[in-house]
Amino acid sequence: MPHNSSETRIQDPFKPWKYLLSPPLKLNFVSPNFMKVLLAICIFTGFSFIYFSTFPGQKWRTATCPECEQPLLHSTYRRHTNIVSATAAGHGVIKTDISHILFGIGGSAETWGQRRRYCELWWKPNVTRGYVWLDEEPAKPWPETSPPYKVSEDTTRFKYTNWDGSRSAVRIARIVKESFELGLDDVRWFVMGDDDTVFFTENLVNLLNRYDYKQMYYIGGHSESVEQDMAHSYTMGYGGGGFAISYPLAAELVKILDGCIDRYAEFYGSDHKIESCINEIGVPVTREPGFHQMDIRGSPYGLLSAHPLAPLISLHHLDYLQPVFPGRNRVGSIKRLIHAYESDPGRVLQQSFCYDLTRNWSVSVSWGYNVQLYPFLVRAKDLSTPLQTFLTWGTWSQEPFTFNTRVLSLKPCERPIIYYFAGVDGSGSGKTLTWYRRPHPEQRRQCKGENYGAGYTVKGFNVSAALLDPGIWNKAPRRQCCEVMSGGDRVDGVVQVRIRGCNQQESVTPP
- Rounded to whole angstroms, the Cα distance separating 123 from 125 reads 6
Are 221 and 291 in contact, with CB atoms under 8 Å apart?
Answer: yes
CB atoms within 10 A of CB 460: 17
Q: Structural domain of residue 405, as residue ranges?
A: 341-500
| Residue 2 preceded by cis peptide, ω within 30 | no
Is residue 56 situated within a structural domain?
no
What mean pLDDT comes out for the span 128-132? 98
Based on the domain organization, do 280 and 364 belong to the same domain? no
Are 192 and 104 in contact, with CB atoms under 8 Å apart?
Answer: yes
The domain tally of the chain equals: 2
CATH number of the domain where residue 235 is located: 3.90.550.50
Q: Of 231, 266, 292, at which residue does a domain stop?
A: 292
Nearest to 131 by CA among 192, 77, 208: 192
pLDDT score, position 491: 64
Q: How confident is the model at residue 41 (pLDDT cuts 50, 70, 90)?
A: low
Residue 429 is classified by DSSP as: S
Concatenate the DSSP letters of all residues of 443-506 into one string: -SPPP-SHHHHHHHT--EEEEEEEPPPGGGGGS---PPEEEEPTTTTTBTTEEEEEEEPPPTT-
Is residue 63 situated within a structural domain?
no
CB atoms within 10 A of CB 21: 8
Based on the domain organization, do 150 and 254 belong to the same domain? yes
Please determine, for residue 27, whether its predicted confidence score (pLDDT) is greater than 80: no
Output the CA torsion sign for 416, 421, 426, 430. Answer: positive
What mean pLDDT comes out for the span 40-68? 47
- Rounded to whole angstroms, the Cα distance separating 300 from 346 reads 20
Based on the domain organization, do 346 and 432 belong to the same domain? yes
Is residue 307 situated within a structural domain?
no
Dump pLDDT digits (tens) for 255-307.
999 999 999 999 999 999 999 999 999 999 999 999 999 999 999 999 999 99
Is residue 128 situated within a structural domain?
yes
3-class secondary structure, 391:
strand
Based on the domain organization, do 245 and 353 belong to the same domain? no
CB atoms within 10 A of CB 73: 15
Euclidean distance between the first and final Cα of the chain, in Å? 63
pLDDT score, position 2: 39
CA-to-CA dists, residue 367 to 233, 276, 507, angstroms: 32, 37, 20
Dump pLDDT digits (tens) for 180-206.
999 999 999 999 999 999 999 999 999
CA-to-CA dists, residue 453 to 375, 411, 413, angstroms: 9, 15, 10
User: How would you class 306 by CB atoms within 10 Å of its CB: exposed for 0-12, middle for 13-18, buried for 19 or more?
Assistant: buried
- Rounded to whole angstroms, the Cα distance separating 205 from 99 reads 10
Are 103 and 292 in contact, with CB atoms under 8 Å apart?
Answer: no
pLDDT score, position 445: 83
Is residue 373 situated within a structural domain?
yes
Q: Of 252, 271, 292, at which residue does a domain stop?
A: 292
Nearest to 225 by CA among 107, 310, 321: 321
Based on the domain organization, do 224 and 113 belong to the same domain? yes
Q: How confident is the model at residue 176 (pLDDT cuts 50, 70, 90)?
A: very high
Based on the domain organization, do 179 and 271 belong to the same domain? yes
Which of 50-59, 269-278, 497-506 is the least confident region? Answer: 50-59
- Rounded to whole angstroms, the Cα distance separating 40 from 36 reads 6
Q: How confident is the model at residue 160 (pLDDT cuts 50, 70, 90)?
A: very high
Based on the domain organization, do 123 and 263 belong to the same domain? yes
- 92 forms beta bridges with none
Nearest to 131 by CA among 101, 158, 154, 110: 101
Rounding to the nearest 10 degrees, give the CA dihedral for residues 225, 227, 231, 237: 10
Based on the domain organization, do 358 and 267 belong to the same domain? no
Based on the domain organization, do 279 and 361 belong to the same domain? no
Q: Tell me the whole-structure pTM to 2 decimals.
A: 0.82
Are 314 and 198 in contact, with CB atoms under 8 Å apart?
Answer: yes
pLDDT score, position 486: 74
Is residue 147 situated within a structural domain?
yes
